[in-house]
Structure 1
Amino acid sequence: MSPQVVMRRFPRSSPYWPVVTHPLLRRLLPGLAVSALGDGMALVAVTWLALQLAPSEQHGTWVAIAVAAYTLPSAAGALLFGRLLRGRHGAQLAGWDAILRAAALAAIPVAYAFGTLSIGLYVALLAVSSLLHSWGSAGRYTMIAELLPQRHHLPANAVLTTITELATIVGPPLAGILISWGGAATVIAIDAATFAVLAATYRFAMPRIGRADPIEAGASRAAGFSVIRRDRTRLGLLALTFGFFFCFGPVLVALPIHVTEDLHGSATMLSAYYTAFGIGAVIGGLAVGYLRRWSLWPTLIGIVLGFGTAMLPLGLAAPTVLALTSFAVAGLTWGPYMSISLALFQRTTTTALLPQVLAANGAVTVLSVPLGTMLGGPLVATLGARETLLLSATTTLALGLIAACLTALQRRLKAEHTDHRD
């Protein structure tokens, strides 16, 4: 096929065309993009306002608490609200999360303007804002399963995750500009406004519907975890995701110290590493739509192995150019992981149970990176920054090899069982 014919057929031949032209999704995507940009700006604003409010001798402690408060309570919310939210449609869950985020975050600049915002109240409002976040994320990807046929799930997941990755690249520098103009509280007010826009988008772009298909009346708060535990594929996927993200956690501690102390680099060099990773993740995320005919489970294992391999040069004291390039390749392999893992859950779970399953997955995911990051501090202090990066890479490789061996063993046992029955 000639390049001219390919160009004439593009973008209709793209796997993303059915997603961006869907009559409901195309109304939601602008609101999702605006909200993601607000969250990207909040990455800087949350820590900056914590620095302003906390006592100078406790800056580090309160910044860590504020960052944790903006994410970790969603894990508790996945359990606390299981009975209340079971059986709800995806758009409802995502809309309620956006409403809570908008209200709790809007209270922060209001309290700041009246001079009543203490560091304790600030952390409490951040924690309240994140309580439904696991359910909101589950709602978005459940909505994909409700609206689109299975062949379009992977590119649709990729659209949502790529929007988030792009926001983490654009949002922080934009936040820096806005903070210098109006302060961190102003940026958080903007973030709240973006969630209000998203909530309105869910309210008016989606049809008003009640509960999804009914599920057991006696379902527990941990029903999502129970569903995962009963299926080997889902349980293995949850374990692989936790291990993969946990192994990445120490990198967030080790890399800045490696750049500043081992390489004697500047903040510009550190930002170059993060930018290279982010660009790679966006490219990898966009490539996901073209992998929809691949077998998803082996692809996930390949991603884990590829990520561990790409991280090796950072731990082996490779030249800076090679280390930057390998970190970009690590981002390239990282980008598709979440879209593919969510597609596996979508394929193996009914839409009635999918919100609870994805909320449980989100609760584990949101804990894995912080737990790995907490481990990173003692590892760097004991081993050193470069050695911690090497340990993270080799542990990730070991995780991928274990997953590959277990998968091969399971297939072999299944084949022998089939032969025995025949």
Structure 2
Amino acid sequence: MNVTAVMIMLQHRHGAAAIAVYFLARTAAPYLFSRPVVSAMPPRLIGSAWASSQATLALLMLGLALFNQNDALLVILLAVAGVLQSATAAWLMHIAEVTSQDDRKALITAISTGTSVAIVVGPALGGILSSWGGLLSVFAFDSATFAASLLLVPWSGLPASLRQQAAQWSAAQLLLRALIPVKPHMNAWVWPLAAVWIAFGLFGGLLTAIETPVFATLKGFSPDQIGAAISAYGLGGLVIFLASTLFGFSNGYLSTSAVAVTGVLAWTLGANWLLYPAFFVTGLGFALVNSAARVAFAEVFARSNVQTSEAWAWVNQLSLFTSVTSYLTAWIYFSLGDNLHLISGAVVALGFTCLAFGVLWDVASKQRATTAVTGHVQKAAASEVQ
């Protein structure tokens, strides 16, 4: 929830470049350091580590509620909080896996539902609290939620049979392990798919970096209106989440990026009343693209001689690369100038480029599938003749 409030504050005090730096810190720090933190923790201590991290986050948010005048220190501490939140998310899933059979399904459902609801409610609530009581009310609310989670999650008394010994790594080895690129041995189709994934990542990253400046400067939105608009984006993603969870929906076409491009185009050129539905459509489109890309990666990995976990780690590293690149690009751009119309046009153009990539991928995938079917038919016919 504090993400929206801090974005609005940084836009007001320092402009768009500060928002890009903030997202860069919030993205890079968890990817670089959360994996070493998680790997270093023995499984027998995971429950206690999760609880300690939640308590630390509660105290950290309370401190930021009272002392948030230094913006540079604020960004650094929120980056540290991002590392802890990323680590606790992994530990929470471990806790869910080792709880009793009766509690497991309910806890995992609660985790998934809570995340989806937070995407929708968080930005709007952050904008409203920011308008009402500034960062004090935002961070105080966050502190209370972290403290309350200690009472809701069964983090103590994990089964002893699941407390296997963790691999021993030094801090330096763990950090180096997080930085080393994963190079899975996969078939040639993975490289064009990776290019498509990077293009979409840059599209989404740049959109994230400019959305608050555009809302605040070009559209004249108030903090609560910005929060509501970002919530509309999250609502689009929630629709896809519910469709996949409740009805087994799965999208296999990257050309559905046309939905996201349409939403961004309407957001850039449309009147203010159109911005909420435009951002909903944008969120819907990015959720469809994310689903299609993950389906495509899964199909490629299934035909490759590689460990699935390592392959997905490689995809996550691609995501890190695109996030860092997009936020760094936005920071450099806004440091040199503040022409929001120009960079908005560039984001729209990048969206159409992604759409072209998506269409090409879908056409090539269809041809590959047709070729495979034809080959099986010919082999079957040859076997019958023999």
In the alignment, is the contact (CA less than 8 A) between 1:314 and 1:389 conserved in 2? no
**1:159 maps to which of 113, 128, 139:** 113
1:392 aligns with 2:355: no
Aligned to 2:362: 404
- TM superposition shift of 1:59: 7.2
* Equivalent position amino acid for 1:286 in 2: L
Tell me how far 1:125 sits from its aligned partner.
Answer: 2.8
Whether 2:236 is the aligned partner of 1:280: answer yes
Match of 2:127 in 1: 173
Q: Is the partner of 2:177 in helix, strand or coil?
A: coil
- Tell me the equivalent position of 2:264: 311
Contact persistence 2:124–2:227 (CA under 8 A)? no
Deviation at 1:109, TM superposition (A): 4.0
* Shift in CA distance, 107/312, structure 1 to aligned 2, threshold 3 Å: closer
1:76 and 2:32 aligned? yes
Compute the displacement of 1:298 (Å): 0.9
1:336 Cα offset (Å): 5.7
Judged with a 3 Å threshold, the aligned counterparts in structure 2 of structure 1 residues 324 and 127 are, in CA distance, closer, same or farther, namely: closer
Aligned counterpart, 2:3: 43
Partner of 2:383: none
Match of 1:130 among 73, 76, 82: 82
Q: Which amino acid aligns with 1:129?
A: A
Instruction: Give the Cα separation in 1 of the matches to 2:215 and 2:39.
Output: 47
User: Cα distance 1:207–1:100, how it changes in 2: closer, same or farther (>3 A)?
Assistant: closer
Match of 2:59 in 1: 106
Match of 1:375 among 329, 332, 338: 329
Residue 229 (structure 1) aligns with = 184
Q: Unpaired segments of 5 or more residues in structure 1?
A: 1-39
Residues in 2 aligned to 1:143 and 1:416: alpha-carbon distance in whole angstroms: 48
**Aligned residue pairs: how many?**
358
Q: Does the Cα contact within 8 Å between 1:249 and 1:376 map onto a contact in 2?
A: no
**Structure 1 residues 136 and 259, CA, compared in 2 at 3 Å: closer, same or farther?**
closer
- Look up the match of 1:329: 281
Report the Cα offset of residue 128 of structure 1. 2.4
State the match for 1:243 in structure 2. Answer: 199
User: CA 1:383–1:374 in structure 2 vs 1: closer, same or farther (change >3 Å)?
Assistant: farther
State the 1:400 CA deviation: 1.7
Q: Which amino acid aligns with 1:197?
A: A
CA distance in 1, matches of 2:85, 2:191: 22
Give 2:149's aligned residue.
Answer: 198
User: How big is each residue's C-alpha offset from its partner over 1:266-310, in whole Å with a ceiling of 9 and x where there is no partner?
Assistant: 215766643543433333332232441x5x4615x2543432344
- Counterparts of 1:277 and 1:373, CA distance in 2: 19
- What secondary structure sits across from 1:384 in the alignment? helix
Match of 1:28 in 2: none
TM-score if structure 2 supplies the norm length? 0.65
Cα 1:273/1:127, change in 2 over 3 Å: closer
Instruction: Indicate if the aligned counterparts of 2:4 and 2:227 stay in contact, CA closer than 8 A.
Output: no
Distance 1:401 1:82, change over 3 A: farther
Task: Indicate if the aligned counterparts of 2:264 and 2:348 stay in contact, CA closer than 8 A.
Answer: yes
